[in-house]
Every structure is written in C-alpha cells, then in structure tokens.
Amino acid sequence: MKKEIWDFGIVGQGLAGTVLHAYLERAGYRTCVWDPGGVSCSAISSGILNPLTGRKYVKSWLFDDLLAEAKSFYPRMERELATRFFYERPIFRALPDRRAENEWDYRSSLPDYLPYAGGEVSKDMMPDGLRSSVPYISILQGHQLRINRLLEAYRKDLRGKHAIFTEKWNYDALKKDGEYWNYKGVLCRRIVFCEGAAALKNPFLKGLPFNLSKGEAMVVRAPAELSAVVKRRIFSVPWEKGQWWLGAANFWNYDHGQPTDLGQERIMSAYQQMYSGAVAPVIENYAAIKPTVRDRKPLLGQVEPGLFVFNGMGTKGASLTPYFARHFVSHLRTGEPLRGEVDVKSRMHR
C-alpha cells in the first residue's frame, strides 16, 4: 500500500468503523482503516433494529430518527456494494403474563406508538412448532441488518481501494509529526478510535464510562421457515438459508469472551420453552464482548487534539450507528456541537 496522507485514519472496522468510514468518504474526506480481521461483536450480532423494547415495550431512544437514517443509509450501501444485508422484519413478541398484556394494551394505544404496534399474531403466521400457550403480538417496522455481510462486502471494497491495513494497532507506535499523526509511516490529519470493547486497552481512551457486557448466541439448523423475528425469552432470527440465529444470553460478569456451557444451555432451554419438536442441531456457538456504556449512550468526540472516539454503540449498534455517524461527521465538518448525551467531553473521568 502507498504511504500517503489521509484526512482520517480509523482504528477498527466493526460496524462503527465501517459506517463512519462511509460517511467520512461521502463528506469528501480520504479515510483509511486499520483492522486485523477475525471475529468481532458486529460479526456475530443478530443486527435487529427493534422499535419497542424491554418489559414495558418502550420506544427506543430517538427511534423515529434512527430508523429514518438507517432506511436511507443501508439500502444505499446495498446498492453501492451490490450485496443484500438489510431486511424489514416484523418482530413477534410473546406476552407471557397478564402484566405484559396490560402493558402492551396501554403502550399500543399511545399515538406515537401507532406506526409500530401491530395486532395479535394469528396461528397461520407463526412458524411451525412455536408453542401457542401464550399470545404473540407483532411489532411493526422492525428491521434486520446482516452486519457480517455488510462488513465483508465493505472490507473487500476497502481492499480494492488500498484503504485498509490488516493489522492490529500498537498504540505506542503513534507519533506526532508536525500537523499529522504518524502511525508507522502512515500520515493522518486525524485519527478516530472505533475498537468496540477493545477500547479498554487504548491508553488514549482512559476514563470513558464503559461498562462492558458479554453476549452469547448460537446458530442452529432451521426447524421451520422463519420470516419474522420471534421473541420470548430469547430471539429466534432468520440467518443463512436453512439456519436460525438464537440468542442472546447476556452476562455482566465473565472470565473470557468465549462461549460457555452456561450461556449455551440458557439459550437452548429458552428455545425449548418456545418451540416444540426435536431439538435443532447446533451449527455454531458464538460469544463476544459488547461495547456497552454505563448510561447506555454512544461515546463520541475528541479525546486529545486530533484524536477522536466513535464507540459505545452497546446493544443497539444497528440502529444507532448511521444516525450518529452523520451527526459526528457534521460536527467534524462544520463544528456543529455534539448532542450533550453523547459528547465524551463531560463524560470522561481521568
């Protein structure tokens, strides 16, 4: 690769680094990326954009705006990369008890929930084998981003443009060189760190309010056709042809980032509560550490002159990333202030 001057260098090509790269290039900034490749949190994620979440079916923070940006960004990327990875999918969610039913009745009657609140799911719409001991309702405007497909296609494109270095950053090698940052002879005006949970190893990001968590999932041979996402204690999600993604089991305390017996058993027992019939054969076991943040808001902004962070997408990277990449690039380009909730300036404790 030629040694040349870049406007921006991005460290990390997970979902955050990839989407940010696209927005920077669109704004006219020549941008390169470092990433050694391998399994990332993004690569194993189910990538659901879920309008109504939690026990109270509350509309996700900023969801109307996040969805509008996602629906403009991802299809455009699909066209540019000639790869499909963004799908509209209703989310069938169980109402496991009377409290859930009451909560749903209340929420679904609120005017700004109307675009997302579907009715009860009829038997003929449910996948074969789904136990109908509890009712399911349909959440509309759910989407699925097949993140690993987006990342692979984008990486291929970056390779073609000689804009990716397939290596892991060694932070000690970064030097200031006049107005540039010099990383092993590559000169960048500005650097943005997008390493997901590995940000904890970055000496320039000390004091950010990360509160990492681990997610486990599995891919099984599909026991039936599945066109919607179905959620009871876990999500069952369409994956590759003939496969379902099941998950997640989440842990705040963990010893390592690999799948565990406990996590996989938890998923399988939730699956058996949802579906009758033979146990689906497991094809793969997944685990990754998520870049979750104490106040659940992304982390954006400058950490030192010329050094920036774009991280903290937590459990909602698929919906948060395009909107906040646009916001961040607009801030970099015009000086427009960052939203207070996401700006690292007031959230960094050193």
Ligand X SMILES: Cc1cc2nc3c(=O)[nH]c(=O)nc-3n(C[C@H](O)[C@H](O)[C@H](O)COP(=O)(O)OP(=O)(O)OC[C@H]3O[C@@H](n4cnc5c(N)ncnc54)[C@H](O)[C@@H]3O)c2cc1C
Q: Is there binding between residue 11 and ligand X (CB under 6 A)?
A: yes
Q: How many CB atoms lie within 10 A of CB 294?
A: 11
> Minimum distance from CB of 276 to ligand X (Å)?
25
Rounded to 5°, angle at Cα 217 from 126 and 284: 100
Q: Which residues contact 176 (CB under 8 A, 6 or more apart)?
A: 182
Smallest distance, ligand X to C-beta of residue 109, A:
27
Torsion of CA 220, 222, 228, 231, to 10 degrees: -40
Distance CA 78, CA 181 (A): 33
Tell me: does residue 248 bind ligand X (CB under 6 A).
yes
Cα 282–chain centre separation: 24
The DSSP code sequence of 21-35 is HHHHHHTT--EEEE-
Residue of 228, 288, 293, 303 interacting with ligand X (CB under 6 A) = 288
Please, what is the minimum distance in Å from the beta carbon of residue 259 to ligand X?
10
Under the criterion CB under 6 A, does residue 15 sit at the interface with ligand X?
Answer: yes
Asked whether 47 and 147 are in contact (CB, 8 A), the reply is yes
Main-chain dihedrals φ then ψ at residue 188, nearest 5 degrees: -130, 140
Residue in 42, 53, 60, 138 binding ligand X, rule: CB under 6 A: 42
Asked if 198 is part of the footprint of ligand X (rule: CB under 6 A), the reply reads yes
The only residue of 146, 149, 316, 331 in contact with ligand X, by rule CB under 6 A: 316
**Does 290 contact ligand X by CB under 6 A?**
yes
Q: Per CB under 6 A, does 13 bind ligand X?
A: yes
Range 132-191, binding ligand X (CB under 6 A): 168-169
Q: Is 134 helix (H, G, I), strand (E, B) or coil?
A: coil
In the bound complex, what is the minimum distance in angstroms from residue 5's beta carbon to ligand X?
Answer: 20
Query: How would you classify the pairing of strands 164-165 and 174-177?
Result: unpaired
Task: For residue 9, state whether it binds ligand X (rule: CB under 6 A).
Answer: no
How far apart are CB 289 and ligand X at their closest, in Å? 7
d(CA 322, CA 69): 6
Q: What minimum distance in Å lies between the beta carbon of 15 and ligand X?
A: 4
What does the per-residue mask of binding to ligand X show for 60-89, with x meaning CB under 6 A? Answer: ------------------------------
CB 189 within 8 A of CB 158: no
Nearest distance from C-beta of residue 65 to ligand X, angstroms: 15
Alpha-carbon Rg for the chain, nearest whole angstrom, is: 21
Q: Does residue 229 belong to the site contacting ligand X (CB under 6 A)?
A: no
- Is 259 a binding residue for ligand X by CB under 6 A? The answer is no
Please report, as ranges, the residues that interact with ligand X according to CB under 6 A.
11-17, 34-36, 38, 40-42, 44-48, 168-169, 194-198, 215, 217, 247-248, 288, 290-291, 311, 313-319
